[in-house]
Amino acid sequence: MSIRRILLLHAGGTIGMAPTAKGFAPKAGLLERALAEMPGAGGDEAQIDLMLLDPLIDSADATPADWNRLAALIVANHDKVDGIVVTHGTDTLAFTSSALAMSLEGLAKPVIITGAMVPLFQPGSDGLRNLSDAIAAIGTCDAGVWIQFAGKLLSGPRARKMHSTDLDAFAAKQSDLPPSRTGTKIQHHAFQPTDIAVLPVAPGGSTHVISYALNHCDGVVLRCFGSGTVPGDPILAAGLAKAAERGIPVVAISETIKGGTSLGSYAAGAILTEHGAIDGHDMTVEAAYVKLTLALSMTRNLPDLRDFIETPLCGEFGKTPPTT
Ligand code: ASP
């Protein structure tokens, strides 16, 4: 029987934290101890190599540079292992899972991301369970980027953190498509620095900030009502006109959890289509932000950006991919 090789990349997060005077903070040594206390994790024939990212972070501090670092390590080790487990903070875990699913092309192994709501070795911790489930999933699940959490295996680019305290903290929108970007060989499309705003509309809420972003940012993810309506506000309309004039992408998504946008359904959303907003359909806010970041890392040409964002890449849209 051949030995199953697993790379465990520890990025930080609650799973590997310990109490400090300021609250929980990353602490080295906890993942090592967990592996030592889980003999036989991944089966008798598994060899788990642990690599710690430096520095270990609370995922609130994660940036696209961290997504690049993780992706580069996955590419460098892809052909040597049977799968990769990433331990990560839960707060931005769904951004990272979307980022890895979208930026890694030709992934032929499972990448399983997990974390914990309660640190390893603290009373009531879910860390050991999530870690051992993630390691076990390497032997059973298809290539792609997945989240293993509270007994559930979820599509990386469709998942969201749904609860800030429950151990069962994640859920994923429905998807029948594998969470991976097809390609003949493993490669990474790097994220470049961008200046993107993610902003919601609200009834009677200020549109000055949205307008400022439309006038100054490289791109905007606009969280609209329902199926893609926004207030018929002159400041917002002028901002959208300015964004169109500047040739910057505005991706419209829905504030609702399910269903997504369908621009053009209501007159109340007409200013979006009139000014060329891109329909994000039912992408999660995490997936929409990551996809816009990746798109702007590749090109600043608006028709190309629109094409890239509206074309299904790695299962980030629901069952029926939108036709563009
Ligand atoms: N603040 C932590 C983080 O995202 C929360 C967690 O891991 O559960 O790093």
Pocket test of ligand 1: the residue of 10, 14, 56, 131 to mutate, having most ligand atoms within 8 Å of its CB, is: 14
DSSP 108-135: -SEEEEE--SS-TTSTT--HHHHHHHHH
Please, is 98 exposed, middle or buried when counting C-beta atoms within 10 Å of its C-beta (0-12, 13-18, 19+)?
buried
Pocket test of ligand 1: the residue of 58, 93, 113, 147 to mutate, having most ligand atoms within 8 Å of its CB, is: 58
Check if 90 has its Cβ closer than 6 Å to any atom of ligand 1: yes
Q: How far apart are CA 277 and CA 250, in angstroms?
A: 5
Confidence at residue 219, expressed as pLDDT on a 0 to 100 scale:
98
Distances in Å between the Cα of 149 and the Cα atoms of 118, 125, 167, 317 are 12, 13, 8, 21
Check if 60 has its Cβ closer than 6 Å to any atom of ligand 1: yes
- Among residues 4, 17, 85, 92, the alpha carbon closest in space to that of 51 is found at 85
Confidence at residue 251, expressed as pLDDT on a 0 to 100 scale:
98
Do residues 219 and 309 make contact, with C-beta atoms less than 8 angstroms apart?
no
Peptide bond into 55 cis (omega under 30): yes
Mean pLDDT of residues grouped by 10 in the chain (324 residues)? 88 96 94 88 79 96 98 98 98 98 98 98 97 96 97 98 98 90 97 98 97 98 97 97 98 96 93 97 97 98 98 88 50
Confidence at residue 43, expressed as pLDDT on a 0 to 100 scale:
62
Confidence at residue 44, expressed as pLDDT on a 0 to 100 scale:
60
For residue 160, the Cα-to-chain-centroid distance in whole angstroms is 8
